[in-house]
Amino acid sequence: MARAPIRPLIVQKGTQVFLERGYSGSAVQDITAAAEVPKGSFYNHFESKEAFGAEVLQEFFADLQRTISMTLEATGVPPLRRLQNYFAAIIEILDGQDYVYGCLIGNFSVELSPLSDVVRTELLRIFEQWVKPFQKCIIEGQETGAIRGDLAPDLLADFLLASWQGAIMRMKIERNRGPLDQFLTVVFDALLTPSKNEIS
């Protein structure tokens, strides 16, 4: 049986190890052991653990972009529904991990921002792209009157993304979807809703 190519295998296993143990809590040997490759092969493929961390992050975001494109960027779906579909898709992923590990982008933001300029630069780049499909949904929702019109779309998009990360953080402590549901209730039943005044 043909073996999977080593490099993507190490990235895939590394993602799981980083999710489970954090960046500093994962030794290169933990990652090569999970991938069942010799420890020495790691440095044939990656310059350093830090460069590997940045690459794992890029891959994680590339995966997430598939979810984004199927939800936030779906054609023919109303903007509020697209936002709801995105959060529902992420909850499905988090549910599959029993709400234990959270989001690698959020985890690395907290753990590595003070420690690695390489990873922090990658995180800045990711958030810059991540926020755009949210902005587009919000702009469209404001045009159709489905979303309150008195907050700038970029402000609202940044707030949603940051608050969602905060909800995931709290989820990791609670180990249930309660904080995610609280986010959805406040955002969709209250924050985004146009005021009566605005509708009339």
- Residue 81 and residue 174: Cα distance in Å, rounded? 27
Residue 170 and residue 179 in contact, taking contact as beta carbons nearer than 8 Å: yes
Least distance in Å: CB of 78 to a copy of itself? 22
- Residue 191 and residue 167: Cα distance in Å, rounded? 15
Find the part of the chain contacting a copy of itself (CB under 8 A) among 2-10, 53-61, 134-142, 192-200: 192-200
13 vs 148 by CB, closer to a copy of itself: 148
Least distance in Å: CB of 96 to a copy of itself? 15
> Nearest 5°: CA angle at 89, between 122 and 123?
10
Tell me the DSSP string of 49-89: HHHHHHHHHHHHHHHHHHHHHHHTT-TTS-HHHHHHHHHHH
> Nearest 5°: CA angle at 94, between 88 and 96?
105
- Does the footprint of a copy of itself cover residue 162 (CB under 8 A)? yes
**What would the x/- binding string for a copy of itself be over residues 137 to 156, using CB under 8 A?**
-----------x-xx---xx
Read off the tokens for 104.
């690698």
Amino acid letter, residue 59:
E
- Residue from 38, 145, 149, 166 that binds a copy of itself (CB under 8 A)? 166
Least distance in Å: CB of 160 to a copy of itself? 9
Least distance in Å: CB of 181 to a copy of itself? 10
Residue 35 and residue 56 in contact, taking contact as beta carbons nearer than 8 Å: no
Least distance in Å: CB of 4 to a copy of itself? 26
- Contact residues toward a copy of itself (CB under 8 A) are 19-25, 100-102, 106-107, 109-111, 113-115, 120, 123-124, 127, 148, 150-151, 155-156, 158-159, 161-167, 169-170, 172-175, 179, 182-183, 185-186, 189-191, 195-197
